[in-house]
Amino acid sequence: MRVAVFIVLAVVAVAAGIAVFTVNSMARATVALAVSFVAVGTTILLIDAEYLGVITILMMLMEMGIMAVFMIMYMMNPAGLMPMSMLHNKRGALGISIGVFLLLAAGVLLTPWPQRRGQPPADVTHALGEAIMGSKMLVMMTVSAVLFATMVCALVLATGRGRYDHDEPPTLVDEAGSGS
């Protein structure tokens, strides 16, 4: 059953990855990239690495959300939905891709991989979490709250009505009580 689920997730991840470069808008490319990353994160869950799988899914969905917000804020076309090509320098990109793939495949096949020494810990996820985070857990929790606040502020500033909910920003009142 796991093999069948893995094959389906692998096909979805690769198809969505290809879709990133074949769809005709930034918004659709963002959704395709998110689908690809969720499929990869779910594949990680299949190998019982719950921590990494959930973190991958959450991190990539948040990243795609931030990307969508910035598309709405800064792109000339509305929400990145106008047609465009994601492919630039097709021949050069194809040559580089094939070269990098062959280099990586050669590295995988020609590297003398070491034999495993010792046994894995009883709770691999806990050991991995400790190895990655260790004493930095409080820092990461604080950073996540700050990042969330930043995303909320960016959404507020990205809305069409603007920061002040009307056309003119509020006028400053001087000490005499008259507007400046």
pLDDT band at 168 (very low <50, low <70, confident <90, very high): low
Torsion of CA 119, 123, 124, 129, to 10 degrees: -140
The predicted-structure confidence for 16-28, as pLDDT tens digits, reads as follows: 999 988 888 777 8
Query: Whole-model pTM?
Result: 0.54
Q: Which pairs from 132-136 meet CB under 8 Å and 24+ separation?
A: none
Going from N- to C-terminal start, the domains of the chain cover: 1-90+124-132, 135-174+176-180
* DSSP secondary structure letter of residue 48: T
Whether 149 and 70 have beta carbons less than 8 Å apart is answered as no
The predicted-structure confidence for 73-108, as pLDDT tens digits, reads as follows: 776 666 556 676 666 787 888 899 899 999 999 999
Torsion of CA 10, 14, 20, 24, to 10 degrees: -110
- In 3D space, the residue among 39, 70, 77 whose CA is nearest the CA of residue 154 turns out to be 70
